[in-house]
Structure formats: structure tokens, C-alpha cells
Amino acid sequence: MNLAPYIEHTNLSPTLTIGTIDALVEEAKQFGFLGVCVPPFWVKRARREIGTANIILVTVAGFPLGYNMTETKLDEIKRAIDNGADEIDVVWNISSFKTHLPWAKIEVAKCSKLAHDHQKLLKVIIETAYLSNEEIVQACKLCADAGADFVKTSTGFAAGGARAEHIALMKNSLPPSVGIKASGGIKTLQDATGMIEAGATRIGTSSAVSIIQTNQLLKV
């Protein structure tokens, strides 16, 4: 399996530096990764380093807890787009969802509209570690109805990350037009292939290079 076209080479560490961003982009070019995912502060730098390379630039909004005001998330999304982001991974309002308020869906719809008005894609991070299986199904249907392009498992900052059984559940709950991004704790080749086999169409990982190198060694 050629994994590189699935992978968003990710670094969302609070201590990363400009050198880390430059290395992330250079590794994406070297290994042919689909994209890079960087913090909002570094979007403009990453765009400059990507240049004309065919690499998707992804950033986050409402990260990592999701209970920001919707207006704040919309401002983050607009600024990210202005700085050169192609896709936005927004953390939805888990607190609102668990309180059974309609605002969780309204917020996703507002974020989707803003992204689509600028011909960009929106991924919604539902943080599966905090949800029951029933809630995962409900969350997927909500996000699809509200216009999300992808539903994403995790921020990587919760107690748990992506699980293959959750990916399979998401696949069965989403229309084929909505992608699935697995992220959080994907560190090995086995982790990545397991997520893809379960139905993930994107992989977000900070271990992309070691995963690809392991895969290359197995092909020799």
C-alpha cells in the first residue's frame, strides 16, 4: 500500500520552532505526503515554504478543546484562509453537543459555509475519546448534515486517539461524500494501515516519516 497520499504530516506541538515547520514541509516534499498540518501561527510560513509544490496546507481552529465562541472560530478560519490554508480542522463544540443544544450543528454549518465560500475544505474534529458509540453516530450525521467535508477523530490532546473500531463506525454512519480523517496516537505502520482498512481516507500523524520508512523497508 502506498501510504503517502493518505498522510497529513502533522506537528501541533506547543514548543515547535520555525525550523520544525521548515523541516515538516521539506519532509512532505521528500516523501510525497498529501499535506502538512501546522498551527495557525505558522500557516503563512508553511505556505511560503511549500511554494509551488503539490502539498495541501492544513491548520486548526477552536483547537484543542472546542468550546470557543463560534465567532472566534470563524475569525480563526478566515485568518487561516487569508494566510494560505487549504483546509481547516475545526474542533466542534463537544460541550454544546453533550448538553443537547442545537448550537453544535449551527456552528458546524457556519464554519462549513465560510470555508466553502472560499473554496476550502472543512474537517470537524469530534474527539471520539469523549463520545459513546451512539454519540459518534449522532455526531457523524450532524456533521454531514451541516456540510462538513470530513469528520476527524481526534485532536491528539485527549486521553485517547483514533481507534479502528471507531473509524468503522464512522464509515457506516457517513455518506460516501464525507471523508474520514484518523488522527491521534497513530505512530506505527500497523496503526496507519489499520485505520485505512477500517475506512479512513486521511491519516494525520506526527510519525509520518518513520511510518513511510518502515513501509519502504518492508518492500525491499
Active-site residue, selected from the candidate residues 86, 89, 149, 191: 89
Instruction: Check if 149 is active-site.
Output: no
Give the whole-angstrom CA distance, residue 127 versus residue 168: 15
Question: Is 181 a residue of the active site?
Answer: yes
Residues 168, 140 contacting (CB under 8 angstroms): no
Answer yes or no: are the C-beta atoms of 68 and 62 closer than 8 Å. Answer: yes
Catalytic, out of 73, 105, 123, 181: 181
Residues 131/157, Cβ–Cβ less than 8 Å: no
82 included as an active-site residue: no
d(Cα 131, Cα 137) in Å, to the nearest integer? 10
How far is it, in rounded angstroms, from Cα 79 to Cα 67?
Answer: 19
Q: Which of 123, 149, 152, 191 is catalytic?
A: 152
Please return the burial class of 168, using the count of CB atoms within 10 Å of its CB with bins 0-12, 13-18 and 19+: middle
Give, in degrees to the nearest 5, the angle at Cα 98 between 95 and 102.
85
Residues 4, 212 contacting (CB under 8 angstroms): yes
Residues annotated catalytic, as ranges: 89, 152, 181
